[in-house]
């Protein structure tokens, strides 16, 4: 055990690293994990599923600059991370293999619109369930819970955040359209903000000293700190509750229910996905119960 932090009801503890078993059997939907591809799937009353079948595969909105969550290795072309494996698990449950999937990188600010436009069938990418987003789309899940944290330079004297206002007078960077930037802008007017479409841009600014901190979900920040262990650190202190859902088109409660059932009746699969991805960074989080379809 190296250290334990328990805040906002979420226990974060370092745990032993898990071995990742790669599997590439032909009937797998996953690049890293082995998901059984369902056969004879029918989702009566889901226009989104009908479109996927007609097309021959799903178009899934994802992130690709978030290590351990949604990441694209530019050299190998491989996608990896907790959200990617969740996306593949869903695809397999709908009867699609890895080769049938089209991944579409969509930034935080553009997620609802991509679903409203029908550009993607579903979205899996650190997507917090919020009431205002629910006006435009439906969410399956939640499948993960985290909270807002802060990433700073290792040189910083700060070790923890007691209150977000600890950053008053400083410049904090986050992604446009995200819940953390909204929280700062709504509630902490004395904090200066810098926004980009993607968090990796904020991390670059932090590394070059242009901003004092990057704020977003702790689960995301841990991945960036692990990429730059000598330069960056995540501060203790977790704010807000971010419940990750799978975005589906508004009104497609059949698809929403299908994904909820998968999460609820999926046995050990959630844990296996977590252990092979986010769990590698040392955090320990339990699978949350899903929200009932409204
Ligand atoms: N979970 C937060 C949100 O959905 C922050 C992470 C993100 O931007 O994807 O806005």
Note the pLDDT of residue 215.
Answer: 98
Alpha carbon of 1 to ligand 1 centroid (Å): 29
Alpha carbon of 217 to ligand 1 centroid (Å): 7
48 lines ligand 1 (CB under 6 A): no
Note the pLDDT of residue 114.
Answer: 98
**Token digits of residue 119:** 């550009």
Q: What global pTM score does this model have?
A: 0.90
Note the pLDDT of residue 15.
Answer: 26
Same fold flag, 2-146+243-281 and 148-234 = yes
**Measured from the CA of 242, which atom of ligand 1 is nearest?**
1
Note the pLDDT of residue 19.
Answer: 27
**Measured from the CA of 175, which atom of ligand 1 is nearest?**
8
Q: Give every CB contact of residue 25 below 8 A, 6+ residues apart in sequence.
A: 34
196 lines ligand 1 (CB under 6 A): no
Q: What is the pLDDT of residues 55-88, one digit of tens each?
A: 999 999 999 999 999 999 999 999 999 999 999 9
Ranges of each domain in the chain:
2-146+243-281, 148-234
* Residue (of 193, 197, 144, 135) closest to 164 by Cα position: 193
Q: Give every CB contact of residue 264 below 8 A, 6+ residues apart in sequence.
A: 289, 290
Domain 148-234 class in CATH = alpha beta
Instruction: Annotate 255-290 with b (16+ C-beta within 10 A) or e (fewer).
Output: bbbbbbebbeebeebbebbbbbbbbbbbbebebeeb
Alpha carbon of 128 to ligand 1 centroid (Å): 6
- Pick from 108, 222, 239 the residue to mutate for probing ligand 1's pocket: most ligand atoms within 8 Å of its CB: 108
CA separation for the pair 55, 49 (Å, rounded): 10
Alpha carbon of 109 to ligand 1 centroid (Å): 9
Q: Residue with the nearest Cα to atom 10 of ligand 1?
A: 178
* Residue (of 40, 26, 48, 41) closest to 98 by Cα position: 26
For domain 2-146+243-281, the CATH architecture is: 3-Layer(aba) Sandwich (3.40)
Residue-by-residue pLDDT tens, the chain, 294 positions: 333 333 333 333 322 222 223 333 333 344 478 899 999 999 999 999 999 999 999 999 999 999 999 999 999 999 999 999 999 999 999 999 999 999 999 999 999 999 999 999 999 999 999 999 999 999 999 999 999 999 999 999 999 999 999 999 999 999 999 999 999 999 999 999 999 999 999 999 999 999 999 999 999 999 999 999 999 999 999 999 999 999 999 999 999 999 999 999 999 999 999 999 999 888 889 999 999 988
Q: What is the pLDDT of residues 173-215, one digit of tens each?
A: 999 999 999 999 999 999 999 999 999 999 999 999 999 999 9
215 DSSP β-pair partners? 150
- Pick from 242, 244, 246 the residue to mutate for probing ligand 1's pocket: most ligand atoms within 8 Å of its CB: 242
Note the pLDDT of residue 21.
Answer: 30
Alpha carbon of 15 to ligand 1 centroid (Å): 25
- Pick from 62, 109, 127 the residue to mutate for probing ligand 1's pocket: most ligand atoms within 8 Å of its CB: 127
Alpha carbon of 106 to ligand 1 centroid (Å): 12
Residue 232 contacts residue 259 (beta carbons within 8 Å): no
252 lines ligand 1 (CB under 6 A): no
**Token digits of residue 228:** 């730059």
277 lines ligand 1 (CB under 6 A): no
Residue 153 contacts residue 210 (beta carbons within 8 Å): no
């Amino acid at each position: 055990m190296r250290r334990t932090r328990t805040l906002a009801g979420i226990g974060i503890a370092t745990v032993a690293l898990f071995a990742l078993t790669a599997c590439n059997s032909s009937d797998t939907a996953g690049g890293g994990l082995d998901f059984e591809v369902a056969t004879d799937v029918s989702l009566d009353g889901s226009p989104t599923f009908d479109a996927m079948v007609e097309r021959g595969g799903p178009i899934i909105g994802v992130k690709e600059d978030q290590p351990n969550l949604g990441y694209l290795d530019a050299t190998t072309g491989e996608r990896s991370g907790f959200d990617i494996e969740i996306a593949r698990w869903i695809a397999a449950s709908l009867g699609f293999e890895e080769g049938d999937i089209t991944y579409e990188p969509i930034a935080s600010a553009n997620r609802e619109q991509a679903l409203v436009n029908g550009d993607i069938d579903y979205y899996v990418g650190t997507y917090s369930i919020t009431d205002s987003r629910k006006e435009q789309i439906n969410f399956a899940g939640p499948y993960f819970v985290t909270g807002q944290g802060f990433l700073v330079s290792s040189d910083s004297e700060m070790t923890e955040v007691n209150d977000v206002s600890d950053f008053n007078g400083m410049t904090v960077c986050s992604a446009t359209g995200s819940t953390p930037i909204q929280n700062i802008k709504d509630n902490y007017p004395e904090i200066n903000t810098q926004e980009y479409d993607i968090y990796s841009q904020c991390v670059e600014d932090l590394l070059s000293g242009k901003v004092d901190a990057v704020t977003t979900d702790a689960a995301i920040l841990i991945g960036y700190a692990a990429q730059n262990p000598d330069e960056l650190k995540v501060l203790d202190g977790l704010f807000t509750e971010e419940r990750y859902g799978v975005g589906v088109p508004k009104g497609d409660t059949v698809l929403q229910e299908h994904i909820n059932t998968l999460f609820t009746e999926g046995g050990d699969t959630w844990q296996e996905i977590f252990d092979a991805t986010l769990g590698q960074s040392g955090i320990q989080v339990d699978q949350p119960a899903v929200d009932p379809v409204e």
